Amino acid sequence: MKRKFGIIGNPIRHSLSPVLHNYWFDKYGIDASYSIIEAEDKDLPNIIKKIRNKEIAGINVTLPFKQKIINQTDRIINDAESTGSVNTILLDKGKVIGENTDVFGLQAAYLK
């Protein structure tokens, strides 16, 4: 069964994330797809419901939702706690988890 992933934001149509992620899924034979999910504040509960129901395996989050979506999660972890924002949402053992990978990415780029 193809796993579905996406990126939410508004505006988001300009995002290259689907091109990049779908390239890697195809290259490595991963049965998954990655798409743009243009959303408004009122759509956040329904998007989280789709993650809970395993209709969507996970999402990346961009502006303006990095802080707004936190109250839809069951728990935030790692750098999401210290930054007060999330950029990744996934389901782990039935719980919707919010994480922030921006800090790690910035640190890695800086140290390189």
Catalytic residues: 66
Distances (CA, A) of 100 to 11, 72, 80, 105: 20, 15, 5, 10
> CA 19 → CA 24, 85, 94, 98, distances in Å?
9, 25, 29, 24
